[in-house]
Structure 1
Amino acid sequence: MSRFSSKLFQIVLLMCAGLAALVTPSAGAGFIQLDGAMDVKTRFSEGCSTAQELAEEAKQKGIDVLFYNDSARNSLEYGLVPLERILKKKEERSSVLSVGANAYLSEIGDLDRHYREVLLIPGVEAMPFYFWTGGILKRDLVANNFDKRLLIYGMETAPALEQLPLLNSNFSKRMIGKYQTLFSIYGGLFLFSCVLIYKRFYRKLSMGAAAVFFLLAVNNHPFQSSPYDQYHGDQGVEPYQKMIDRVKEQGGMTFWNRLDALNGMREVGSVQLKTLPHPEDLVLSKGYDGFQAVADQPLPHVDPGQEWDQVLGGYLSGERPGAVWGIGTNDYRCAAEDGKILGMVRTVFLVREKSREGVMEALKKGRMYAVRQPDADRLSLDDFTVSDVTTGQVATLGEEISVSDFPEIRANLRSLHGEPKSATLRIVRNGAVVKEEAVNLPYEMVWRDVEVPREGPVYYRLSAWVGPTDHLVANPVFVRFVAPSAEVASLPPSGAVPPGGPKSPSMPRPPSVSMPSVPSPGMPQAGMPSAGGTAMPRQPGMPGVSIPSVPQPGMGEGYSVVTLVDSVPLKKGPGTIFPDVVRVDKGTRLEVVRKTTVRFNRKPWLVVRWEGQNAFVWEGVVQTE
């Protein structure tokens, strides 16, 4: 009888365990992973292949989702002020709007219905703004910021694409309010001159005036495509914010692309194109959905404590309406161009079913990770979750969870085809590295963060790398803490801010766009304002392994600067309202990584290296060595 009771007890235990497995929520339950290739161009713009040829190649390479991102408009226009829109030279290359948005969308839509193995999603790459410096006579004409680009998805009607706020683009009624004043003035003067001609009052002079005012009225017509022009200098982040806001109004999504600007200087005919690295735009702009986090080389703005973490901290503190997500983009034009292969960089989506709607939902909610693969045996993140061991609640990429105890983090990393590899795995919490270790794949991690201060919301994100050409970046999981006696809410929609606003997290807040005053080198050190922050330390005992840094354009051999005054603050961002990393003495030598596009008193903020990490210093308090 006792043996029977013991056997029955074991059966009951097994049944209970099975039932618990069924009812305990799992972040991976019901999700499948789809490989996506983003930022692929066809013959509609700079690509060498047709949309169908790319779809066929994607099918052969096992790519599940192909995102087309042909240039919305690809043109340069230079005119003579004040008749710059009439007396002009324009160079335009093939693009979606020059060929026809209807043709572009129709072709991809027809192919998508034909190819069941690959989901084909149309998008565009927008270059909202550039500005001229130099001149034709001196032969030093430069188009600045031409390669500052945004990827746009979810705007799949021709009228929506045709009304994007781009320079040198389609007629639009949206800018009438901005341009109607000048148009009305010149139009009124033209009509007045016509009256004088009719009255035969100084007829020749009136005819000349009428011709001039007519040309000025035409030049300043109110049906412009953009509220900006390329003749009045740098407009900062405003033209890009205008594009982000416009896309958001139409229900689309925007992603910053090519923030590293590795091809910073290039030529088109006799004109130079100049675009400096601009990761600070992640902080200066708002309302966008994400950015390029994985490219052919590691990107510094995804390093711990850099721009991505500053933006995520702003979301946690309630200063930003939503989180921003990392994606992997290819910038793929032609086979083997610059060594590129279709699908070398992939964005892997977690979806319930293989459908366009499922992929777009995952893209919107951040349920994805990005990976760069040197071959078919890429890194695969089979699981990354945060759970509450008390309640059994689980959240995965892009989701948010409420916990009443120390959160438990799980990760499952392997090479896709099982080849043995050694990798480094890193967990970042609120911009600081809290766990980093060298592992052999496949590897499963179960780790409980018992050192987290359970006072405000936090996030965890994961990155892993075998080398600079074989690395992975995952989107964050958000955690807020509740009292053990409180009722633990179910997972809110991704991107939602907790009711009443979350408490301020432990990491520094991101800055506002305005730039405070910075003292000149001759001012005493007490005049240098400081946000009073400090760099976020690593947890003790973590190995000091980091992704190899990538040389940035504009960084010459041996290019360094020396501080001119004592107590010069090295900042965590391009502005004095960012917290200090450290203060250095007069005569300190700093290696320059690059110049930023943020300027004060006509001098830019510089990105410099200090003890193995990036920091920012104003050019006004240093001199070239």
Structure 2
Amino acid sequence: MSKLLLTLLLFTALAPALAVGDELRPVPGVIHLESRAGGSPLTVEEVADRARKAGMRVVVFNDKFTNRVEYGLPPLRNLLKKSEERGSISGYGVDLYLREINELSRQHPDMVILPGAEVGTFYYWAGSISAFVRDVLSREGLSRLLASGKGAEEKIGKFDYRQKQVDRGLKVVNFHKDMLVLGLDKADDYVNLPTVSNRKPLVLAWSGLLNLWPLPLLVFALIRLFPRRASPYPYALVTQPTAMPSVPERSQTGLRRARKSSLLLIVPSLLFLVNNFPFFQPKYDQYHGDQGSAPYQELIDYVNARGGLIFWSAPDISTGVFQAGPMLMETRPYSPELLNTRNYTGFAVFAEGMKSSGLPGGGWDKVLTEYVKGDRERPVWAIGELDYEDGDWIGETQTVFMLRALNRQDMLAALREGRIYAVTGSAKVPKPVLEKFQIWDAEKQHWAEMGETATVRGLTKIKIELVVPPGAEVRNLRLIREGQVVWNMEVTGSFTEIIELDYQREKGMTYYRLDLDSQLIANPVFCRFPTGRPAL
């Protein structure tokens, strides 16, 4: 009896500690850091050390997977080509890259450090072959396309790009239309990423055998080059057994001509065989114009099939059109891809996602509205993207994870399930902390977290706990439902309140997301209405 009593007392004493461990707590992190593998002057150790000093506890590296442009002349595009490459994971070595980051993670058990990649899955060339000869083979050539830090002086004027393409020469389009990939465990998962520069995926079809067309031509030429040496006059050996038959001059001339023509066939046959290898063509290449969303959906499906996570990077990109030596590099905003593609994990709302995509009624709200109406299989989440190479601004843009335990599994689960928010601002000024953003679930009798769905009966009860650093400016806190601002308040300090909204509808779903002055963006909490009245 005494042992049982002691056990109960110990359990009672430990219960508060266990409950604390079950509580979600905000853990700051940074996504899209670059290292020496991708051209940064810093090693992974140096980058992680800077992140730690900035207070980050989750670090995700996203060096460029490939960083190469290539142009080949038809019909021997794989032989008569010029390419230019800069720092990338594929050039550095996938195995080495993963090994360095995983070893770094083991050395820092109080942090979560993950490898990932920035993947430019597709680009294409616009222009003519004559432009290739003039531009690509020039002294500067392709090298300027990959040069870092293109300044404002190289940016083409607002209306210059409307000039005829022939006046502009050769142009590479959508080279910086990127996605962020993480959560892949195997080196082969990276090696086989479907990208134009990686020449994957290959189309394994019977039509690929047509690329073997030089082979019969080569065999025919070899047969003509080495004919069987039969006697032209076999009957002479019968009448005069000791006679040496001679080949007429005309036959010798024909043989020499056959050999010359065979050599003329052998050379191009071998060239085309080498050019066509491995005979099966990639599904997409850079020579057949814009392929729309298809190459990006291919990458999304590939990553999902291997259990990874994938985010659109900088959908509201402002790079525009740049003069890169004698050529143009063009990547225009691609926020429509948020609607055109499906089953990706999310997008970077900061720093290049709040010009249109993350605003009320923007692309993100349209995607979320499609989800609650049943027109989309899964929602998408907002993250903060740093795109850091060097400098003292490593904490400027953060993704804050709501975690119960600081480990890889819980961190990936938070990303996958939407238990995150993005925040941006000066790296030297403390940022507001969103402790709670929840909706009361009347069915389960608990508070639903970001990314979860609450069953709502009657009033919608929304709990917000926001910690704002002392001396902060007045900020506008607002709630957004299906693209509309339905509640807002100016806050000057910390804010804790349960907000009640009188909104119901016929059976269906809606969502609420939180926006603090367009500098802190919380992911949505969904509401399900089992019964109700029409929306007000």
Q: Same fold, TM exceeding 0.5?
A: yes
Greater mean alpha carbon deviation, residues 450-459 or residues 251-260: 450-459
Contact 1:59 1:117 in 2 (8 A): no
Partner residue in 1 for 2:198: 169
Distance 1:444 1:188 in 2: 79
Distance 1:429 1:243 in 2: 31
From the superposition, tell whether residues 225 and 232 of structure 1 become closer, same or farther in structure 2 (CA, over 3 Å): closer
Q: Give matches, 1:340-489, under 5 Å.
A: 341-374=393-426, 375-388=428-441, 392-415=445-468, 417-465=469-517, 471-483=519-531
Partner residue in 1 for 2:209: 181
Partner residue in 1 for 2:142: none
Give the aligned residue type for 2:345.
Answer: D
Contact 2:31 2:61 in 1 (8 A): yes
2:362 alignment partner, one of 306, 323, 331: 306
Contact 1:75 1:90 in 2 (8 A): yes
1:204 alignment partner, one of 260, 270, 281: 260
Contact 1:119 1:355 in 2 (8 A): yes
Partner residue in 1 for 2:335: 279
From the superposition, tell whether residues 87 and 460 of structure 1 become closer, same or farther in structure 2 (CA, over 3 Å): same
Partner residue in 2 for 1:517: none
Cα offsets for 1:429-461 (capped at 9, x unmatched): 122221122222211232222134244211111
Cα drift, residue 272 of structure 1: 2.6
Contact 1:402 1:482 in 2 (8 A): yes
Contact 1:294 1:472 in 2 (8 A): no
Distance 2:45 2:456 in 1: 48
Cα drift, residue 270 of structure 1: 4.0
Unpaired segments ≥5 residues, structure 1? 1-21, 485-504, 507-538, 540-625
Cα drift, residue 138 of structure 1: 5.0
From the superposition, tell whether residues 186 and 284 of structure 1 become closer, same or farther in structure 2 (CA, over 3 Å): farther
1:154 aligns with 2:183: yes
Distance 1:111 1:178 in 2: 46
What is the percentage of aligned positions where both structures have the same residue? 32
2:119 alignment partner, one of 101, 116, 126: 126
Distance 2:276 2:361 in 1: 46
Give the aligned residue type for 1:155.
Answer: L
1:239 alignment partner, one of 275, 295, 298: 295
Partner residue in 1 for 2:154: none
Partner residue in 2 for 1:332: 388
Partner residue in 2 for 1:323: 379
State the TM-score, normalizing by the size of structure 2. 0.79
1:216 alignment partner, one of 272, 277, 295: 272
Greater mean alpha carbon deviation, residues 396-405 or residues 93-102: 396-405
Contact 1:389 1:408 in 2 (8 A): no
Cα drift, residue 321 of structure 1: 1.7
Which of the two has higher C-alpha Rg? 2
Give the aligned residue type for 2:132.
Answer: I
State the TM-score, normalizing by the size of structure 1. 0.68
Partner residue in 2 for 1:295: 351
Query: What secondary structure, in the 3-state scheme, does the structure 2 residue paired with 1:350 have?
Result: strand
Query: What secondary structure, in the 3-state scheme, does the structure 2 residue paired with 1:302 have?
Result: coil
Distance 1:175 1:119 in 2: 38
From the superposition, tell whether residues 72 and 231 of structure 1 become closer, same or farther in structure 2 (CA, over 3 Å): same
Cα drift, residue 137 of structure 1: 4.1
Distance 1:273 1:43 in 2: 24
Give the aligned residue type for 1:53.
Answer: E
Distance 2:368 2:21 in 1: 24
Distance 1:166 1:387 in 2: 44
More strand by share: 1
Contact 1:129 1:166 in 2 (8 A): yes
Contact 2:459 2:501 in 1 (8 A): yes
Cα drift, residue 368 of structure 1: 0.3
Distance 1:40 1:157 in 2: 20
Contact 1:388 1:405 in 2 (8 A): no
Unpaired segments ≥5 residues, structure 2? 1-14, 136-168, 228-254
Cα offsets for 1:380-407 (capped at 9, x unmatched): 1111111145763321111112223232
Cα offsets for 1:284-308 (capped at 9, x unmatched): 1112111111217833111122211
Cα drift, residue 131 of structure 1: 0.7
Partner residue in 2 for 1:64: 57
Give the aligned residue type for 1:379.
Answer: P
Contact 2:212 2:279 in 1 (8 A): no
Cα drift, residue 186 of structure 1: 3.5
More helix by share: 2
Cα offsets for 1:593-612 (capped at 9, x unmatched): xxxxxxxxxxxxxxxxxxxx
Structure with the bigger RCO (C-alpha within 8 Å, sep 6+) is 2
Contact 2:443 2:455 in 1 (8 A): no
Contact 1:173 1:223 in 2 (8 A): no
From the superposition, tell whether residues 224 and 310 of structure 1 become closer, same or farther in structure 2 (CA, over 3 Å): farther
Cα drift, residue 27 of structure 1: 13
1:38 aligns with 2:31: yes
Greater mean alpha carbon deviation, residues 202-211 or residues 76-85: 202-211
Cα drift, residue 223 of structure 1: 6.7
Cα drift, residue 208 of structure 1: 2.3
Partner residue in 2 for 1:113: 106
Cα drift, residue 316 of structure 1: 1.9
Distance 1:167 1:56 in 2: 35
Contact 2:225 2:259 in 1 (8 A): yes
Aligned CA RMSD, in angstroms, stands at: 2.7
Distance 1:179 1:100 in 2: 33
Cα offsets for 1:508-529 (capped at 9, x unmatched): xxxxxxxxxxxxxxxxxxxxxx
Distance 1:311 1:226 in 2: 31
From the superposition, tell whether residues 189 and 236 of structure 1 become closer, same or farther in structure 2 (CA, over 3 Å): farther
Cα offsets for 1:191-242 (capped at 9, x unmatched): 3443444446844334323322332232222377942111111111111111
Distance 1:213 1:452 in 2: 72
Distance 2:31 2:45 in 1: 16
Contact 1:179 1:222 in 2 (8 A): no
Distance 2:281 2:525 in 1: 39
1:194 alignment partner, one of 203, 218, 222: 222
Distance 2:206 2:408 in 1: 38
Distance 1:143 1:296 in 2: 21
Aligned residues: 455
Cα offsets for 1:352-402 (capped at 9, x unmatched): 100011101101111100000213311211111111457633211111122
1:104 aligns with 2:97: yes
